Amino acid sequence: MLLIIGIGNTLRRDDGAGWRMAEALAAALAQAGVVVHLELCQQLTPEVAEAAAELAPAAIVFVDASPAVPAPTLASLHADAGGGAASHHLSPVTLLAILDKLYGVKVAGWLVQTPAEDFAHGEGLSAAAQRGVDEAPAVAALVKNSVADQSSGR
pLDDT in tens, 52-76: 999 999 999 999 999 999 999 999 9
Q: What is the dihedral of CA 7, 40, 46, 69, to 10 degrees?
A: -10
How far, in Å, are 1, 18, 59, 85, 116 from residue 107 at the CA level?
11, 21, 5, 19, 28
Q: Which of 27-41, 45-59, 78-92, 109-123 has the weakest average pLDDT?
A: 78-92
**Sheet with strand 108-115: strands edge to edge:** 36-41, 2-7, 59-66, 108-115, 73-77
Residue 78's pLDDT band (cuts 50, 70, 90): confident
Residue 83, pLDDT > 90, answer no
Residue 103, pLDDT > 90, answer yes
Q: What is the CATH number of the domain that holds 13?
A: 3.40.50.1450
| Interatomic CA distance for residues 114 and 65, integer angstroms | 5
Q: What is the mean pLDDT of the chain?
A: 91
Length reported for the chain: 154
Q: Provide the residue range defining the domain that includes 59.
A: 2-117+125-151
Residue 86's pLDDT band (cuts 50, 70, 90): very low
Residue 153's pLDDT band (cuts 50, 70, 90): low
What is the pTM (predicted TM-score) of this model? 0.92
Residue 79, pLDDT > 90, answer no
Task: Give pLDDT tens digits for 113-142.
Answer: 999 999 999 999 999 999 999 999 999 999
Domain total of the chain: 1
